[in-house]
Amino acid sequence: MYKKVLLLASVLVLLGCSQKKEGCGIQDKSDFEQLFTRDEVYHTALNNTQKAQLMASFETKALLTATYLNPVFKNHSCQKRFKNELKNGEYFFVGVYIPNSEKNEFNTKGYSLSLDGLKPLEVKKLDKDDPLRYEMPMVDNWSTYYKVKFKKTPKNNFNLIFENDRFGRDILNFSKGEKPLFESLTDLNREQN
């Protein structure tokens, strides 16, 4: 009996102590409710994130993660810092890790990044406490993170190319259209029907 009363009291305390916050024109969830709701920004970012790896002699020479930001912040009114910028370019959140390097910079030591062969218009290195780092998937403490802007492309499908003059290249395919998280599984399902 005491266990049931104690359990009921703790649930009531948790629900009673959590506050609903109003922000960005939408009603945010309480701390307790956030445990059971999907983070739409993170989910969309995960759908638009890919990894590139340059290898030589079975060793990873460079690792890059890229998140295409335009679809991530297109429908989220909370992200006012990107809302206006998205119209004038293609934006990527890029993380670079180069083993045995003090600085993980993709624009040094022969590394380059291009969008269908075009160089970036702007590369901004992000601070360790930049809010964008907290919203993106696959962020670690070893990589260096950038916000990279390319010229707006009229194509719906385009390639982000990460390359090095010694270790080759890796091509990431991005699309402006919406795609499922596990694209290969849905393609398999379409082929069976």
Q: What angle do CA 61, 64, 66 make, to 5 degrees?
A: 170
User: Within a domain: residue 164?
Assistant: yes
User: Within a domain: residue 191?
Assistant: no
Residue 145: predicted pLDDT:
94
User: Within a domain: residue 92?
Assistant: yes
Residue 26: predicted pLDDT:
41
Look up the domain containing 81 and give its range.
38-178
User: Within a domain: residue 151?
Assistant: yes
Please state the domain count of the chain.
1
Q: Pick from 96, 84, 87: which is nearest to 123 by CA?
A: 96
Q: Pick from 151, 156, 147: which is nearest to 66 by CA?
A: 147
User: Within a domain: residue 110?
Assistant: yes
User: Within a domain: residue 146?
Assistant: yes
Contacts of residue 76, Cβ cutoff 8 Å, sequence gap at least 6: 40, 41
Sign of the dihedral defined by the CA atoms of residues 30, 32, 38, 41, in that order: positive
User: Within a domain: residue 188?
Assistant: no
141: tokens are 């403490």
Residue 105: predicted pLDDT:
73
Residues of the chain below pLDDT 70: 12-35, 75-85, 107, 178-193
Residue 17: predicted pLDDT:
54
User: Within a domain: residue 57?
Assistant: yes
Q: What is the pLDDT of residues 85-108, one digit of tens each?
A: 677 899 999 999 988 877 777 767
Residue 149: predicted pLDDT:
94
